[in-house]
Structure 1
Amino acid sequence: MAKGTPATQALEKAGIAFSLREYDYDPDAPRIGLQAAEALGLDPARVLKTLMARADREPVCVVLPSDHEVSLKKLAAAAGAKHADMLPPAEAERITGYHVGGISPFGQKKRVRVFVEQTALEHPTVVLNGGRRGLQVEMKPADLVGALGATVVPLTA
């Protein structure tokens, strides 16, 4: 595949059906997920953002609609932790092997627990980062959850 990234390679290896969507990435956009949704002409609730956080000392991945904010309190509870906070960009990049703006929950350098906001499962397909800035993958939400062994919980503030 010409657009091969560790994320798309992981999806292919897992036998997950997906399609690629590309857009012009804007590094100055205040909210990358919303910029992707607008550029692709999609409902922001279907375009999922990937965030890297820490639950106590454990790095975790959070996937939620681009028009929502994560509740760190809900994330901590879901992870069985006392505290949760966002990872600094440099640490997120080191753990995932991706650049901020191109972080995918698939094909990360270090496998971490993944938490998906439950409202993401309300759509027939969702769109999320494909492992490179400006590259998105579209897939069924059940495939997203199954491929990652993700925990589906309410995570939004």
Structure 2
Amino acid sequence: MTPACKILKAQKFEYSIHEYEHDVNAKSFGLEAAEKLGLEVEEVFKTLMVTDDKNFFIAVLPVNHQLNLKKVASAFGCKKLHMADPKVAERLTGYLVGGISPIGQKKRLKTVIDASATSLAKIYVSGGKRGLDIGVKPQDLADVLSAQFIDVVDE
């Protein structure tokens, strides 16, 4: 039971657990999850950390898209953002890269979820370790994270 699952359970959100055998040679954790779980890539979301060198933020977006740093900077009221160092992301979240869940991070960070999630009944995010995804209603995810839905992907 990861911190992400414990929080969803404690707050009585409905969720499903999906485990798969993680391949250490996989080039993309998110695409691997979609393939191994038999899900559409549009339903599987990755968790990315960005920073302006003072503050850190989280963006949750479909695994088959690239994050648009200008859009996410605007969403957080920043001039410019860049990807956080993976080691810093691990330290701040308490999770390993490839298993960083948007839920249950050590330090709660401001979060946005790509607006495409609102058209889906359920999305799948990392459950807090490699090889574990959790399926959750997009609005429940937004509620548990106090997150907003915003278009943050490159077209």
Listed one character per residue, the Cα deviations across residues 77-102 of structure 1 (whole Å, up to 9, x for unaligned) are: 11000011111110000000000011
| CA RMSD of superposed structures (Å) | 0.9
Which of 123, 134, 138 matches 2:135?
Answer: 138
User: Is the partner of 1:45 in helix, strand or coil?
Assistant: helix
Contact 1:22 1:136 in 2 (8 A): yes
Q: Structure 1: how far apart are the matches of 2:150 and 2:12?
A: 25
User: Is the partner of 2:153 in helix, strand or coil?
Assistant: coil
Letter in 2 for 1:112: L
1:87 corresponding residue in structure 2:
84
Structure 1 segments unaligned to the other structure (5+ residues)? none
Aligned residues: 154
1:150 corresponding residue in structure 2:
147
Q: Percent sequence identity over matched residues? A: 42
Contact 1:55 1:75 in 2 (8 A): no
Does residue 65 of the first structure (1) align with residue 62 of the second (2)?
yes
Q: Structure 1: how far apart are the matches of 2:24 and 2:8?
A: 26
Further displaced range: 48-57 or 89-98: 48-57
TM-score by length of structure 2 reads 0.96
Does residue 105 of the first structure (1) align with residue 98 of the second (2)?
no
1:48 corresponding residue in structure 2:
45
Contact 1:55 1:79 in 2 (8 A): no
Which of 5, 10, 25 matches 1:8?
Answer: 5
Structure 2 segments unaligned to the other structure (5+ residues)? none
User: Is the partner of 1:36 in helix, strand or coil?
Assistant: helix
